Structure 1
Amino acid sequence: MTMTEIQNPILPGFNPDPSILRVGDDYYIATSTFEWYPGVQIHHSRDLRHWRLLTRPLDRAAQLDMRGDPDSGGVWAPCLTRADGQFWLIYTDMKRRDGAWKDSHNYLVTAPAIEGPWSDPVYLNSSGFDPSLFHDEDGRKWLLNMVWDHNQTGGDRFGGILCQEYSVAEQRLTGPVHNIYRGTDHKLTEGPHLYRRDGYYYLLTAEGGTGYDHAVTMARSRDLLGPYETDPQKHLVTAKDAPDAYLQRAGHGDIVETQGGEFYLVHLCSRPLDETRATETGRADGIHADDVRRSPLGRETAIQKLTWEPGAFPRLAHGGPAPAATVPAPDLPEHPFDATPARTTFAPDRLPIDFQWLRIPAPERLFSLTERPGALRLFGRESPGSQFEHALVARRQTEIAFTAETEIDMQPGDYQHFAGLVAWYGRFKFHYLAVTANEAGERVLTVYSCPADWPDARITLPIAPIPLPGEAPVRLGCDVDGAVLRFRYAREGGDWRDLGIALDQSAISDEAGNGPGNNFTGAFVGMCAHDTSGRGRPADFLHFFYEAR
């Protein structure tokens, strides 16, 4: 790779459903955050190659309260645009995602600058998800979203792309609702974005579900309300016919034009672990013998260079629909950012931006940066299975192989109080190295594992409890290499001790459990505290360390 190429993915780790925007020389990508708080990640770049996490705008209860939202519910598919001197952000809060019905509420917030302040939300509708806002040349604004048709029984309840005008003066949708595009035979049509070019309205959609048949489909019309003709090639990008491609599950995209008139498509993708790309012979490591590809990093964001000739549909510059691992960079000055330090220490002003927590808009219920200066204090709340108050602070896994460490100062009162280091995907997919107490009240170290391979998602305890006499802090660590996770620990002044077990990190993935296309986030690693007695007893974390291996 030369300096004139971009290496994919550009946003590694859980960063799906990208919406891209250029404002002058600055580029922004907004991605879904689902049940993680604050909501919506916005990354910034000046060269489309180097990116930094800039802000998360949905940071208060008036904008977002996800208590009770299911795993992979919450914030779906934001759309970021700029018009009339301000930024516009559209998003869904998905309250129910399983079964025949979906409760998907769509909102709009605005801000004078990308870092805010962002407004309280305007409620738009609840007819479906993946909303986007199109600003037409005449100044009118149109909301698009897929519509959920719960009456369909054939498996495809995606009823097409709706379009309705938005009144800025009235702050509401107005006028008739139009179903402008019902998609192709690839089905599951969602993720709409609209562009105006050469006398056409170009409609980009996602199709095929978010598993390994995912795709980006294009259509166009001379009239905003249709009818839309599908691109004869049908899919602009997909890996469904390229099972050996480095990037898989390519779909749900958005297009941006550079200052120099070059076009690029950003899209979600995933990178299955090499050891899970196999086949009927199963996995060589013997941890999990099946032929299911697994992607612990979740759905990431990649970029592809386009050619878009006047009057024609866009095409990938390298030809065909399969996504490329590297693409030519635009003709822009290189603009790298400083690397994030591997070691995180905790200051009283704010939680470091790489970290998030789950669902709740009241972080003071979960943690404090001031009660013990220089430490992150987590208050033990509900169990790891809770959809309400769960004291977990974590960062994304962004590399296939990494090391993570922390140091915990905690005196458990009994076995209902436990805290430690966790590799986390969701309520039924995690590996947890925990300090707790045995029935006699003696401090011990244990492992709780829930690898999502069983229908009842039961917890296993793969080691016998290890005594931790005294009250000194304990260092906790994990080393992940692809599909294998190994925990270790060290007592004060002592060397690291490996626990002697290998856990299946591939289970901490979208595909584990009920298969690809049903889970939408990615692996995290972080710190958590639980107190199922309801007393809220704390645990202090003195630092956190994350580094690629």
Structure 2
Amino acid sequence: MGKKLVNPVLRGFHPDASILKVGLDYYMATSTFEWMPGIDIYHSRDLVNWRHVASPIQTCFQLDFKGNYNSGSLWAPHLSYSEGYFWLVVTDVKTNTAFKDTLNYLFVSKDITGDWGEPLFLHASGFDPAFFHDDDGKHYLVSMLYDHRLDYERFSGLVMQEFDWHKKELVGKRQRFFKGTDLGVCEGPQLVKKDGWYYLLAAAGGTGYSHAATVSRSKYLEGPYELSPWHPFLTTKDDPDNPLQKSGHACFIEVQADEWYIAHICSRPLQKRGNCPLGRETSLQKIVWENGWPHLANGSHHPDLYVEKPSIAKQIAQKMDFSETVRFTNQDLPASFKSLRMPINRPEISLTDCPGHLRLYGRQSISSLHEQTLLARRWQHFNFIAETEMVFQPANFQQMAGLVLFYDTDNWVYLHVSFDDNQEKKYIQLEENFQNKFHYASDRIYIEKETPLILRVEVTKEVAQFSFKYPEKQSFQLVGSKLRIDGLSDDAIKSGGKLAFTGEMVGICAQDMYDHKSHADFSYFSYLEKHREKE
């Protein structure tokens, strides 16, 4: 069973966790960026095992991500509870130039699994805001201030403004209350009140290997805030051997009286300070309070892979395997499935048009920032096998469908079936795109026209091998050679000058760049951990 909690607790592409306790229930909300349904909320009774219970943003009528740039859209959420409602604050990031259009909205719901309704627009001034509900009944929106002026620093400090719950609007004057620290841009600010002090927990140092979290405090909400002697509060900048790199962006949670933890962001590189294909994940650390200041229970600012379990979880076994096999015989898709920029519930994605199958109707190309038909799930292991069975009858070369390793529209590896107009034959081929440099990674293999195909990819850390077979065959036929795929990561993409901080996905898709009428039918999709990784 193990006495220790093993980090991360949310594995693979679960960044910016906001953690909340309501009664005996714990909830965590994480970023989803350009993937829908938007914002994933998990539930736990023990802080060790987490179950997906909600994704509040389901439709384009709530928020529309079509055309948003890669790694834009839904950034760090903040989840809180007040006035008998769950409050979810999100940022829809539209642009990334000297200007930054960051549209901040509030969603509320009586029930965490219920209807979150329409968004309430708050402001467009900075990103990663959070609500603080003071014990006098007042509510405050806390956020960073972004400055587009060329002769000013982009980060212009933290601001707060009162929110009137009854009027459903920000009221009074926006007040700048914190300038930041020596670690630079201050993001994801969150306030906690304890023993008469206001504690400000914020992310700093960017999103890479210099990432960190800081703590400051004040007797007054509006400040001035003094910096903790435990500074930085959390980082691995000076600890390159730590398995939980890029640690920072954090959120406090009180389990019992005098028992506190933080949920925080982290990444696990394949090699020291190397690429992190699983993206940014969520871990937990125990903290203690000393002379009125919080710090990690291990006495340092470095996170631990193994952490003392919370008192409520001493006898709880931790789930470590997130394999799943989905057979498309139900009326709903699993919560693990995400759709790119578009709602998952739409006519192009059907579980009823071909009973026992998931039918995907091809739309725009795999490079489109608008309307793609692509469903995928997170990588949660460094070593896994993904497999699907597909029936697809393309009529021309502009119709494609298959199995894809996908980071964003500029970075993917795609095992697809299409049609050779000259040979008048169906074929399978592997194409890869790293930073918009396209090339074929295999020859064309001509295949039988009417027969279903089983498509497979086997990932072993930085290497992937694609293959296929006919259902009646025993063995798989390799497609191309083993490929280096660690370029599908934040780190590799950033090295090319692009913004990137989501995570790797594996999934199925269909394109029809002719008349949007062709379709592919999938009978199952499986994602299986290949072998137990050494923790």
* Cα displacement (A) at 1:517: 9.0
- Shift in Å, 1:389: 0.4
Indicate whether 1:257 and 2:254 are aligned: yes
User: Which residue of structure 2 lines up, in the alignment, with residue 447 of structure 1?
Assistant: 430
Which amino acid counterpart does residue 139 of structure 1 have in structure 2? G
Q: Is the 8 A contact 2:9 2:283 kept in 1?
A: yes
The reply on whether 1:346 has 2:342 as its aligned counterpart is: no
What is the CA-CA distance between 1:55 and the residue it aligns to? Answer: 1.5
Query: Residue 502 of structure 1 aligns with which residue?
Result: 482
Secondary structure of 2:136's partner?
A: coil
Separation in structure 2 between the aligned mates of residue 152 and residue 196 of structure 1, nearest angstrom: 37
Change (3 A) 1:110 1:343: same
Aligned pair in 2 of structure 1 residues 536, 313: CA closer, same or farther (>3 Å)? farther
Instruction: Trace 1:324-343 onto structure 2 (pairs within 5 A).
Output: 324-333=304-313, 334-335=315-316, 342-343=324-325
2:528 alignment partner in structure 1? 547
Preserved contact between residue 230 and residue 295 of structure 2 (Cα < 8 Å): no
Give the Cα separation in 1 of the matches to 2:472 and 2:91: 49
Deviation at 1:376, TM superposition (A): 0.8
Point out 4+ residue stretches in structure 1 off by more than 6 angstroms: none
CA distance in 2, matches of 1:359, 1:48: 30
Report how far residue 115 of structure 1 moved: 0.4
Paired residue secondary structure (1:448): strand
SS at match of 1:21: strand
Alignment pair present for 1:418 and 2:416: no
Is the alpha carbon distance of 1:25 and 1:517 closer, same or farther for their aligned partners in structure 2, counting shifts above 3 Å? farther
Q: CA separation in 2, counterparts of 1:228 and 1:260?
A: 25
Deviations 1:184-217 (A, max 9, x none): 1210111100000111110011000001100001
CA distance in 1, matches of 2:137, 2:506: 45
Counterpart of 2:445?
Answer: 466
**1:319 positional shift:** 1.4
The whole-number CA distance in structure 2 between the counterparts of 1:362 and 1:544 is 16
Cα distance 1:77–1:25, how it changes in 2: closer, same or farther (>3 A)? same
Q: Distance in 2 between matches of 1:306 and 1:513?
A: 34
Cα separation, 2, equivalents of 1:360 and 1:70:
14
> Any residues of structure 2 matched to 1:36-115 within 5 Å, and which?
36-96=35-95, 98-115=96-113
Cα displacement (A) at 1:341 = 5.9
Q: Secondary structure at the match of 2:221?
A: coil
Relative to structure 1, the CA distance from residue 49 to residue 337 in structure 2 (aligned partners, 3 Å threshold; closer, same or farther) is: closer
User: Partner of 2:285 in structure 1?
Assistant: 304
In 2, the alpha carbon distance for the partners of 1:7 and 1:337 equals 8
Query: In structure 2, how many angstroms separate the alpha carbons of the residues matched to 1:256 and 1:164?
Result: 24
CA distance in 1, matches of 2:150, 2:503: 30
Cα separation, partners in 2 of 1:521 and 1:483, compared to 1, 3 Å: same
Contact 1:510–1:517 at 8 Å: present in 2 too? Answer: no
Aligned to 2:533: none
Give the 5 Å matches for 1:277-426: 277=272, 293-309=274-290, 311-333=291-313, 334-335=315-316, 342-361=324-343, 363-426=345-408
Deviation of residue 505 (structure 1)? 1.7
Cα 1:438–1:517 shift into 2, 3 Å: closer
Partner of residue 518 from structure 1, selected from 499, 517, 528:
499
RMSD: 1.7
In the alignment, which residue of structure 1 is the partner of 2:212? 215
Q: 1:531 aligns with which of 489, 499, 512?
A: 512
Aligned partner of 2:458 among 456, 479, 491: 479
CA distance in 1, matches of 2:437, 2:300: 44
Instruction: Give the CA deviation at 1:259.
Output: 3.0
- Using the alignment, how far apart are the partners of 2:257 and 2:52 within structure 1? 25
Equivalent residue, structure 2, for 1:286: none
How many Å apart are 1:470 and its aligned residue?
2.9
How many angstroms does 1:337 deviate by?
Answer: 8.5
1:226 aligns with 2:212: no
**Counterpart Cα distance in 2 of 1:340 and 1:479:** 16
SS in 1 for 2:346: helix
Letter in 2 for 1:38: P
Shift of 1:362: 6.8
Which whole-Å deviations, capped at 9, do the CAs of 1:122-154 have from their partners, x for residues lacking one?
110000100100000000000011111112558
Q: Aligned partners of 2:146, 2:173: CA distance in 1, in Å?
A: 18
The CA deviation string for residues 150-201 of structure 1, in whole angstroms up to 9 with x for no partner, is: 12558x5121111000011111111010111111121011110000011111
The CA distance in 2 between the partners of 1:269 and 1:58, in whole Å, is 25
Q: Is the CA contact 1:163–1:177 (under 8 Å) kept in the aligned structure 2?
A: yes
Aligned residues of 2:322 and 2:529 also touching (Cα < 8 A): no
- Which deviates further from its counterpart, 30-39 or 342-351? 342-351
Q: What is the CA–CA distance in structure 1 between the aligned matches of 2:268 and 2:151, rounded to whole Å?
A: 32
Offset at 1:348? 4.3
Q: Partners in 2 of 1:174 and 1:233 — Cα distance? A: 35
| Matched residue, 1:130 | 128
Secondary structure in 2 aligned to 1:70?
coil
Q: Is the 8 A contact 1:270 1:298 kept in 2?
A: yes
Residue-by-residue CA offset, 1:427-455 (whole Å, 9 max, x unaligned)? 11110000111132310001110123xxx
How far apart, CA to CA, are the structure 1 residues paired with 2:11 and 2:263?
Answer: 13
Q: 1:271 aligns with which of 268, 272, 291?
A: 268
Shift of 1:492: 3.2
Unaligned ranges ≥5, structure 1: 278-291
Query: CA separation in 2, counterparts of 1:8 and 1:153?
Result: 43
C-alpha contact (below 8 Å) 2:145/2:155 kept by paired residues = yes
Q: Do the aligned residues in 1 keep the contact of 2:443 with 2:480 (CA within 8 Å)?
A: no
Corresponding letter in the other structure for 2:343 = P
Aligned equivalents of 2:217, 2:323: Cα separation in 1: 46
Deviation at 1:347, TM superposition (A): 3.2
Q: Residues 398 and 68 of structure 1: is their aligned pair in 2 closer, same or farther, counting only changes over 3 Å? A: same
- CA distance in 2 between partners of 1:342 and 1:169 (Å): 45
Letter in 2 for 1:91: V
Q: Do 1:193 and 1:254's aligned partners in 2 also have CA atoms closer than 8 Å?
A: yes
Secondary structure of the 2:171 match is strand
The answer to whether the Cα contact below 8 Å between 1:25 and 1:259 also exists between their aligned partners in 2 is no
Q: CA deviation at 1:16?
A: 0.3
Which amino acid in 1 is paired with 2:398?
A: Q
Q: TM-score, normalised by structure 2?
A: 0.95
How far 1:361 sits from its partner (Å)? 3.3
* Structure 1 match to 2:242: 245
The counterpart of 1:170, out of the listed 167, 172, 175, is 167
Q: Assess if the C-alpha contact under 8 Å between 1:35 and 1:75 holds in 2.
A: yes
Which residue number corresponds to residue 284 of structure 1?
none
Q: 2: CA distance between counterparts of 1:336 and 1:90?
A: 33
Question: Which secondary structure state, in structure 1, belongs to the residue aligned with residue 486 of structure 2?
Answer: helix
SS at match of 1:513: helix
Percent identical among aligned pairs is 41
1:345, distance to aligned residue in structure 2 (A) = 0.8
Structure 2 unaligned segments of length 5 or more: list them: 531-535
Question: CA separation in 2, counterparts of 1:340 and 1:268?
Answer: 19
Structure 1 match to 2:119:
121
* Structure 2 counterpart of 1:522, one-letter code: G
- The verdict on how the C-alpha distance between 1:362 and 1:315 changes in structure 2, with shifts beyond 3 A counting, is closer
Q: CA deviation at 1:534?
A: 3.3
Cα distance between partner residues in 2 of 1:534 and 1:211: 42
Return the letter of the residue paired with 2:433.
C
Task: Give, in whole Å, the separation in 1 of the partners of 2:151 and 2:414.
Answer: 40
Distance in 2 between the 1:480 and 1:341 partners? 14
Contact 1:52 1:337 in 2 (8 A): no
The AA in structure 2 aligned to 1:257 is E
